[in-house]
Amino acid sequence: MDTRSLHTQWIKEEALRLGFDSCGVSKAEFLEDEAPRLESWLKNRFHGKMSYMENHFDKRLDPTLLVPGAKSVISLTYNYYPEKLQRTDSFKISKYAYGEDYHKVVKDKLRNLVASMQDKIGSFQARVFTDSAPIMERPWAQRSGLGWIGKHSLLISKGKGSFFFLAEIITDLELVADQPFSTDHCGTCTRCLDACPTEAIVPDKTVDASKCISYFTIELKDEIPNEFQGKFEDWMFGCDICLDVCPWNRFSKPHAEPRFEPRKEILQHSKKDWEEITEHLFNDIFADSPVMRTKFTGLKRNLNFLKR
């Protein structure tokens, strides 16, 4: 086995040891097939008022603009599926936000992996990412053999479902690329499209984010349009509908990450408890949580919209 193969195999084993669920490698090159898709998505205004999505078009498609001399993209998945869920008579929070902010948790894991790699391999250039930079995570994960992109535009793994975060290491290390995941196992299933109450999932594995409940409850800073009144199905932060109905998520298993353990209030609070939340309680419950992104005023706006 040559050095590249040995390094690649060792990195995958070390990633699993550190808690990642899967790890694959693809060659760092321009995502030619994704360029027209991204251009069309932006042209159709599917990004709504997320104007930052219009920035760094070339960087989203070319990893060598993020790491000069990049040769490999290492893609990884990190499970967040919780063992316990919210009570049924509550306003809902997306499962990824039950515990500590994943940006911190997963980036800590990525930095630990890079440090281990440097100890093992020596000096090299690398940057780590998890939903925090202009990088097209799902195409890279598919190219790295980790799964296929479902009709809801999310990556699906046959053995793990889709309740996981994606992460990347772009590096100038030359590693052995995996075969892209070339088959689609959604078949004729349309459960995610049928279940979306705002019809945000459109053909060609695309989401019109400007109609997505997650967009309205997290990204949108203005008032939520009245035309979507009564369509949120009690989601006050994010939305898991397309994930919950996906048949492949019957394979999801509870995570083993202590920092993702749910805050007790998230599991125990009723609708009345959430309606009575104060800013002090909000800051206490959601310290170091992804929910801080919407701020107290944003969560109250969402709750007021749900109560109308």
CB 266 within 8 A of CB 86: yes
Q: Does residue 164 sit in helix, strand or coil?
A: strand
Active site residues: 131
User: How is residue 85 written in tokens?
Assistant: 């869920």
Query: Per residue in 74-114, pLDDT tens?
Result: 999 999 999 999 999 999 999 999 999 999 999 999 999 99
Residue 17 has pLDDT above 90, yes or no: yes
Average pLDDT over residues 220-227: 97
- Supply the pLDDT for residue 132: 81
CB 206 within 8 A of CB 273: no
The 3 state secondary structure assigned to 51-113 is HHHHCCHHHHHCHHHCCCCCCEEEEEEEECCCCCCCCCCCCEECHHHCCCCHHHHHHHHHHHH
Average pLDDT value for the chain: 97
Average pLDDT over residues 3-15: 98
Query: Would the CA dihedral through 235, 129, 157, 70 be positive or negative?
Result: positive
Q: How many CA atoms lie within 13 A of 128 on its CB side?
A: 16
Q: How many CA atoms lie within 13 A of 56 on its CB side?
A: 15
Query: Per residue in 138-171, pLDDT tens?
Result: 999 999 999 999 999 999 999 999 999 999 999 9
CB 10 within 8 A of CB 176: no
The parent domain of residue 231 ranges over: 1-178+185-308
Q: Cα(304)–Cα(274) distance, rounded to whole angstroms?
A: 11
3-state helix, strand, coil in the chain (%, to 5): 45, 15, 45
Count structural domains, the chain: 1
Q: Which residues contact 248 (CB under 8 A, 6 or more apart)?
A: 150, 156, 157, 158, 161, 162, 185
- Supply the pLDDT for residue 102: 97
Average pLDDT over residues 259-270: 98
